[in-house]
Amino acid sequence: MARVVHMSREEFEEAVEDALDEIPPELTAQMDNVVVLVEDDAPPDAPDLLGLYEGTPLTDRDGWWAAGSLPDRITIYRNPTLAMCDSREEVVDEVAVTVVHEIAHHFGIDDDRLHELGWS
């Protein structure tokens, strides 16, 4: 069982920013109307959730969608991530995987395809 890694919210947010910086610019240029947030705790009905994409994937948008639409949200959850990792390095790696996973949902890639690609 993993021990809880201690990492301040600021340090965790920096790990998320670093993970976003690793996304190739040609992909980030295609990201449209999406915000990435950090929350301490996952929703009560999914306390072990590491990240969540909420929105309309790019593959499901049509011409009318963008006008006046709220941004899609990618939320990375700090406490569940810290609880499952044994070291800061593992946290950084897990954050990077979670960020890629949630961005993939923004691009319309589902969990089954991510699993096939080795991003489970």
pLDDT tops 80 at residue 63: no
User: What are phi and psi for residue 112, nearest 5 degrees?
Assistant: -60, -45
Among 2.40.40.20, 3.60.20.10, 3.30.70.141, 3.30.2010.20, what is the CATH number of 9-61+69-116?
A: 3.30.2010.20
Q: What is the pTM of this model?
A: 0.88
pLDDT tops 80 at residue 92: yes
Which helix or strand (DSSP H or E) is residue 97 part of?
helix 88-106
State both tokens at 51.
């990240």
- Apex 33 CA angle, 30 and 38, nearest 5: 105
Q: Regarding beta strands 34-39 and 72-77, do their DSSP bridges make them parallel or antiparallel, or are they unpaired?
A: parallel
Q: Which residue do the tokens 């044994």 mark?
A: 86
Which helix or strand (DSSP H or E) is residue 77 part of?
strand 72-77
Portion of the chain with pLDDT greater than 90, in percent: 59
Portion of the chain with pLDDT greater than 70, in percent: 89
Residue 119: band (very low, low, confident or very high) from pLDDT cuts 50, 70, 90: low
